[in-house]
Amino acid sequence: MTDDDNGVPEPVVHRPPRWRFSLVWLVPLVAALVGLGLLVRTWMLAGPTITIEFKTAEGLEEGKTQLRFKEVVIGKVRSIELAEDFTRVKVTVDLNKDASRAAVADSRFWIVRPRADLGGVSGLNTLLSGAYIGVDIGKSAESQRAFQGLEVPPAVTNDSQGRGFRLAAADLGSLNLGSPVYYRRIPVGRVVGYELDPDGRGVSLQVFVDAPYDRFVTPSSRFWNASGVDVNVGPQGFKLNTQSLVSVIAGGIAFQAPDNGEPPAAEGLRFRLYSDMAAAMAPQDKVLLALRLRFYQSVRGLAVGAPVDFHGLQLGEVTRIDFEYDAARQRFAADVGAVIYPERLGNAYLALRSQLRQADGEAPRRVFERLIAQSLRAQLRSGNLLTGQQYVAMDFLPKGEPTLAPPQAGALVVPTVPGSFDQLQSQIANIVDKIEKVPFDEIGLQLRDSLGQAHQLLKTLDGQVAPEMQQTLEQARQTLRSAEEALGADGPMQQDLRGTLESVDRAARSLRTLAEGLQRHPQSLLRGKPDDPVLLRLSPLPQQGLEQTPP
Amino acid sequence: MSGRVVTAAEMGLIGCRRCGHVMQRPQAVEGSSCARCGAGLHWRKPQSLERCWAFLIAAMILYVPANTMTMMKTINPFNSTDDTIMSGVIYLWAAGTPELAVIVFVASVMVPIGKFIALLILLISVHRGSSRDRVGRTRLYRIIEKIGHWSMLDVFVVALLVALVRFDLFGRVEAGGGAICFGGVVLLTMMASLSFDPRLIWDTPEKT
């Protein structure tokens, strides 16, 4: 092939390339496998893409904002665009493969932002990290790709254990979404929704009671509004009741069940929401009787809901107060409607009813008609003098002319008599009348005259009588002093008196001696004094006594 | 190009690539070894084109995940951000540092793609036995050999950040799959340009 000697370069000979498998081709193969593996993995990880509509995309970022379920990232926002009609925003979210179950019909989506309400603060971590989309994965098997986002996080997630109930209330009060539900003052649930009734005459609330407390809700449970501070000014005085500090601010509902071992209530059962605990726990009155009363006096202080009282027992309450004009008597009258619950009389009512042997429907009416015949009367009484509350008292008051309201179908007309306060008022008015008749002016004038005269008299006394009196008193004092001097212990009168008394004493002694001598010797009156030794012996005694007496 | 170029092969000589000993060219080059140092003798780099192709194809395959996958994951207590090469460039541009964005873009996007194109041009021209502008092509080869490792910049940045930013709870940086793929791309293109024998450009017969 080659010849080195002639120095001529040999042509370059190209060998035909031998195409054989070389180990170096493993490198692109491995690279291809790695690339393919990554591709497959990405494809495998990619779940379904869903769109969610929100009112605003505040805080959301394309490619950054996450979709989180229980704080676990399960997807990412791919794009944010306005809806066709510009009223909402459409957020497209790529779900992870393992979260594809989130795209079901009853899943709910909302934007988690920092949120502070009366019940607390939530979503604080989003202050720094930015908002994210929260999801509550539904239980439905039906898959869905387009969703309407919620504006507020749902109060109850699909995986929370418990039961929801419906409450019918007259108004919402201070309740709100998330207001707590208490059972024996333990928060056991919350208000998850409310809506106005279709006819606008009430409010329906949805509450959720967490497990395991949901079993304490039984069909005969009573719910009441435990919102805020419940201050009641009634004829019973002030009443203040709160459930907890949170409920004072955020409102709340409490419930309680009678202790009768009932089975738990079914999901979604409808209850009545009472305005307060007392109303809720009041015995359920099945029998009621409407009353109609007419008062000619002021009904100031009487309100709808004021008690109808029978011997201290609250038998019912006032349901309406109307005003009308009584043309016949040319007076205004208050037409008061009330309901009473005869069963609250307890055994007394049963006894009365059995006496009548009346059919059940008409029994309460008959019982009370009979009582009215026995002079049962209604009367307005002052329940609380301080606040001026009045209530309707029913009592047997045979005295006085009763006032009768015009009869009304369905309502029992109860005769009324003026109230005790009213009577008192009229009596006081009488007294005032009488007092008014007293001629105070005249009395006053006369009194003034008399006082003037008295004044003059006093002046006279002061000017004339007083100096004389003074003189007299002076003289009297002198007289007394002289008397005192005369009667003094060493006064001449005393000494004279003593001397005189001593003389009298001596005289008396002499007389005694004489008397004794005469007694012994009466004959001496006639014969003179005998010379009796005894007598002689005895005689010196008086003699001695006489001698001894000082002169 | 002027004058006749005489190559060692044309003169029936072969040099050892290890010790530079020049020998008579044997009948069969493959399998022979240097008389002085005993290293294997090759007329040209063995399987140069084949290897170059293999590395280039592997690099091009890996370039796809390197760009689509996460390069760097920044984690702080409130958020975690995944960045690919292009999102990083866009972020730097938007953050008001266009010069950094340009550097990253050039190092991470333009250089690898330029290398792919250059190597493709070299390989295809050698296969077709083209004799056009051999000097230019040789210069092209020199350029890609020189700048090859500069596109490692991105990988270096990620490696540095991963090592430096480790405040467990408050923030950390993790390398994503994209970084590994990108490192692979750079490595493979370097290997491809190394295994290419620029003498092959000159091995084609001169068209006169």
Taking domain B46-202, whether its CATH number is 2.40.50 is answered by: no
Residues 6+ apart with CB under 8 A from A391: A235, A302, A306, A307, A308, A309, A380, A381, A383
Residues of B in contact with A43 (CB under 8 A): none
Instruction: Tell if the CB–CB gap between B50 and A25 is shorter than 8 Å.
Output: yes
Phi, psi of A290 (to 5 degrees): -85, 140
pLDDT band (50, 70, 90) for residue A3: very low
Q: Closest-CA residue in chain B for A125?
A: B78
Name, in order, each residue with C-beta under 8 angstroms of A16's C-beta and a sequence gap of 6 or more: none
pLDDT tens by residue, A95-140: 888 887 888 888 889 888 887 766 567 777 777 777 889 888 888 8
Q: 3-class DSSP state for residue A304?
A: coil
pLDDT at B208: 47
- Residue A227 near residue A179, CB atoms below 8 Å: yes
* Residues B166-193, mean pLDDT to the nearest whole number: 84
Q: Where are the domains of chain A?
A: 35-148, 162-281, 289-418, 423-449
Q: What is the average per-residue pLDDT within B18-33? A: 75
Reduced to 3 states (helix: H, G, I; strand: E, B; else coil), residue A264 is coil
Chain A residues touching B64 at Cβ < 8 A: 35
Q: How confident is the model over A73-96, as a mean pLDDT? A: 88
- Which positions ≥6 away from A506 have C-beta within 8 Å? A546, A549
B79/A4 touch (CB, cutoff 8 Å), yes or no: no
CA distances from A9 to A504, A532, B11 (A): 212, 231, 6
List the one residue out of A299, A381, A390, A301 whose CA is nearest residue A336: A299
Q: What is the pLDDT of residue A475?
A: 94
* Predicted TM-score (pTM) of this structure: 0.48
Cα dist from B180 to A37, A393, B66, B121, whole Å:
14, 93, 8, 27
Q: Is the pLDDT of residue A525 over 50?
A: yes
Q: Check B12 against A12: CB less than 8 A apart.
A: no
Percent of chain B with pLDDT over 70: 89
Per-residue pLDDT at B88: 84
Q: Which of A23, A24, A113 to mutate to test the interface with B (most CBs of B within 10 A)?
A: A24
Helix crossing, B98-105 with B85-94: angle to 10°?
160
Where along chain B do its domains lie?
Answer: 1-43, 46-202
Residues of B in contact with A37 (CB under 8 A): none
Q: Which of B43, B50, B206 to mutate to test the interface with A (most CBs of A within 10 A)?
A: B50
Q: Which of B21, B22, B28, B24 is nearest to B12 (CA)?
A: B24
Residue B34: pLDDT band with limits 50, 70, 90: confident
State the pLDDT at residue A10: 61
Gap from B64 CA to chain A (nearest CA, Å): 8
Q: What percent of chain A has pLDDT over 70?
A: 85
Task: Return phi, psi of residue A435, to 5°.
Answer: -65, -35
Specify the pLDDT at position A334: 86
At residue A539 the predicted structure's pLDDT band, cuts being 50, 70 and 90, is low
Chain A residues close to B62, C-beta within 8 Å: 31, 34-35
B196 touches chain A (CB under 8 A): no
Residue B121: φ, ψ to 5°: -60, -45
Among A323, A310, A315, A311, residue whose Cα is nearest residue A290:
A315
10 Å Cβ neighbour count for A31?
25
pLDDT band at A447 (very low <50, low <70, confident <90, very high): very high
User: Contact A259/A206 with Cβ under 8 angstroms?
Assistant: no
Contacts of A403 (CB under 8 A, 6+ apart): A294, A295, A296, A333, A415, A416, A417
Average pLDDT rounded to a whole number, residues B188-194 = 87
B9: nearest CA partner in chain A: A12
Query: Range with the lowest mean pLDDT among A331-340, A436-445, B76-85?
Result: B76-85
pLDDT tens-digit map of A343-391? 888 788 888 888 777 666 677 888 888 888 888 888 888 877 777 788 8
Identify the band that residue A545 occupies on the pLDDT scale cut at 50, 70 and 90. very low
pLDDT at position A187 over 70: yes
Nearest to A10 among B10, B78, B184 (CB): B10
| Residues A310-349: tens digit of each pLDDT | 888 888 888 888 888 888 878 888 888 888 888 888 788 8
Q: What is the pLDDT of residue A532?
A: 61
Whether B1 has a pLDDT exceeding 50, the answer reads: no
Residue A480 confidence class, pLDDT cut points 50, 70, 90? very high
Instruction: Give A162's contacts (C-beta < 8 A, 6+ positions apart).
Output: A156, A189, A208, A209, A210, A211, A213, A214
Task: Quick: pLDDT tens for A148-157.
Answer: 888 877 777 7
Split at pLDDT 50, 70, 90, the class of A547 is very low
Distant-in-sequence, close-in-space partners of B15: CB < 8 Å, separation ≥ 6: B8, B21, B22, B23
Contact B12 A10 (CB under 8 A): yes
Segment A36-50 mean pLDDT: 81
Asked if A409 is an interface residue toward chain B (Cβ–Cβ < 8 A), one would say no
Q: Chain centroid to CA A488: how far? A: 87
pLDDT of A551 reads 44
Consecutive H or E run containing A256? strand A253-256
Tens digit of each residue's pLDDT (9 = 90 or more) over A189-248: 888 888 898 888 889 998 999 888 888 888 888 888 877 666 667 666 777 766 666 667
**pLDDT at position B4, please?**
60
pLDDT tier, A1 (very low <50, low <70, confident <90, very high otherwise) = very low
Mean pLDDT of chain A: 81
CA A150 to the chain's CA centroid: 39
Structure confidence at residue A538 (pLDDT): 57
Is the pLDDT reported for residue B115 higher than 80? yes
To test the contact with chain A by mutation, choose from B79, B170, B195, B196 the residue with the greatest count of A C-beta atoms within 10 A, namely B79
Tell me the C-alpha distance between B55 and B32, whole Å.
27
Please give the Cα distance from A211 to A191 (Å, whole number): 15
Most confidently predicted of A382-386, A492-496, A542-546, B108-112: B108-112
Tokens of B40: 């294997």
Q: What single-letter amino acid sits at A388?
A: G
